[in-house]
Amino acid sequence: MSHANASSPASLTQPVLFIPHGAGPCFFMDWSPADTWDDMAEFLRGVAATLPARPKAIVMVSAHWRTPGFSVTAGAEPGLVYDYYGFPQHTYQIDYPASGETALAERMAALIAHAGLDASLDAARGFDHGMFIPLKVMFPEADIPVVQLSLREDLDPAAHLAVGEALAALRAEGVLIIGSGMSFHNMRGYGDARFTAPSQAFDDWLTAAVEAGPEQRGAALREWASAPFAHDCHPAGHEEHLIPLMVAAGAAGRDQGRKVYSQQVMKTQLSAYRFG
């Protein structure tokens, strides 16, 4: 990636990402076939080299934290929440000692409230696996402060686009905003060839929506449930793995979106997107 004007503020503005975080602690355990998650891990490992500068902080929007209103982790040293089940014992010893950043959390809550959305601070909440599993691959040193933003319980796409818009200004301050989820997430569908074609059709629609102009993008994502095979890929009421993309798209402003990774995993199509 070229950065010919690296001294200008615009060139140091961080992009926004929507990434797949895999299945539980999949990158840190044996799987069958053994290479199932290798390409996804390689994509995640390569992200840091594509950024205009080392992030000053990361805002992570995880599919695995839902609250009645938007909430922000505010602890200085959050612990980890091992919110996956039935995996090998060693995966519950995974460590990711990234610090929080209370000042950033307070600023985020203020920006969200200024946009007319409910926001609260949670000093007790730890980092869930939607944060620490992919970040351990992307930034293994765990030396960049991280603040997590919850999803709102109702999973309303318009509200999540709006909360992303509220936080967009942080990008110019060196903050990397990441939506962590999965572009396909139907537990019944993984490994089932009957879901291959529907997941590909939905992925095609989603990519066209992300890569459209800002107004068309927002309009399409607000109505994502009308996309082909939408609820085959994200069952109604359980679309939390898609909604972090809405936050990312909202934070993108007028920046173009594009697909930066795509692969068939366990017979379903999975993709990642970048804005800016």
For CA atoms 174, 179, 180, 183, the dihedral sign is negative
pTM of the model: 0.95
Strands (E), the chain: 16-20, 57-67, 70-73, 80-81, 119-122, 127-128, 146-152, 175-181, 257-265, 268-275
Domain of residue 33 covers 9-275
In-domain check, residue 2: no
pLDDT tens for each residue of 21-66: 999 999 999 999 999 999 999 999 999 999 999 999 999 999 999 9
Specify the number of domains making up the chain: 1
pLDDT in tens, 211-226: 999 999 999 999 999 9
Quick check: 10 pLDDT over 80? Answer: no
> Does 224 reside within a domain?
yes
Cα–Cα distance measured from residue 261 to residue 22, given in angstroms and rounded to the nearest whole number: 13
Residue 75, domain member (yes or no):
yes
- Give 155-173 pLDDT, tens digit per residue: 999 999 999 999 999 999 9
Q: Is residue 41 part of a domain?
A: yes
Residue 5 confidence class, pLDDT cut points 50, 70, 90: very low
Contact (CB, 8 A) for 36 and 265: yes
135 found inside a domain:
yes
**Could you tell me if residue 3 is inside a domain?**
no
245: in domain: yes
Please report whether residue 102 resides in a domain. yes
Q: What is the structure's pLDDT at 9?
A: 53
Q: Is residue 65 a contact partner of residue 156, using CB atoms and an 8 Å limit? A: no
- CATH code, 170: 3.40.830.10
